[in-house]
Amino acid sequence: MIEDGGNAFEQLSTGLEDNEEWQVEIYADLKQIMDSISTTIRGTKAERLLQVELDSKLDDYKEKSFGWMVKQAQKAQLNEVLCREPDQKRQDMILSSTYLVSKDAREDFTTVVKFLEKEYENKGLVFECTGPRVPNDSVW
Task: DSSP for 98-110, please give it.
Answer: EEEEEGGGHHHHH
**CA 71, 72, 76, 79 torsion: positive or negative?**
negative
CA pair distance 105, 46, nearest whole angstrom: 45
Domains of the chain: 18-133 (3.30.70)
pLDDT at 51: 78
Confidence (pLDDT) at 94: 86
Question: Given this model, what pLDDT does residue 137 score?
Answer: 62
pTM above 0.85, yes or no: no
Helix (H) or strand (E) holding 26: strand 19-29
pLDDT, tens digit, for every residue of 19-74? Answer: 899 999 999 998 888 888 777 766 656 666 777 888 888 889 888 898 888 888 88
Mean pLDDT of the chain, nearest integer: 78
